[in-house]
Amino acid sequence: MMQQTDQPLASSTTNEAAWKLHPQLLADSIPVTELPICAVRLLDDARFPWILLIPRIAGLTQWLDMPQDIAHQVLDEVNEAQQVLQQIFTPIRINVAAIGNRVDQLHIHCVARFSNDAAWPDVVWGHGTRQPYNPLDR
């Protein structure tokens, strides 16, 4: 299960102090927790269990720009997010992607998929109209 950390990133390595969440990600998602490298957020679309992981590294737009040790830790955090989705929702598939065409700040999508979901078997991006969670369900 994802555990919140009390140990922030080393600012000298990642410039976390200068990091800010992209306004679009802020508007479209709900905070869940902070892992050692990534902010974890729930995309505010009740049609899909959809987690976003955003490395708290200022100016980061591409996975390949991370130092290798940080990239490995981000991958571990992505895998942890997938495990949580699997345990809670038991999907038939988990889609993982870092696209960045509309929001250039590196963020990784982990989406639990089901054969009866609103987009199956197509991708979730750009499919239909987002349905925000009821505030009581967040």
In DSSP notation, 5-28 reads -S----HHHH-GGG----HHHHHH
Bridge partner residues of 54 (DSSP): 39
Is it true that domain 16-114 has CATH number 1.20.1300.10? Answer: no
Q: What are the domain boundaries of the chain?
A: 16-114
Are 119 and 35 in contact by the 8 Å Cβ rule? The answer is: no
Please give the chain's pLDDT, 138 residues, in tens.
555 544 444 444 556 689 999 999 999 999 999 999 999 999 999 999 999 999 999 999 999 999 999 999 999 999 999 999 999 999 999 999 999 999 999 999 999 999 999 999 999 998 999 999 998 877
* CA-wise closest residue to 45 among 136, 129, 120: 129
pTM for this model (two decimals): 0.87
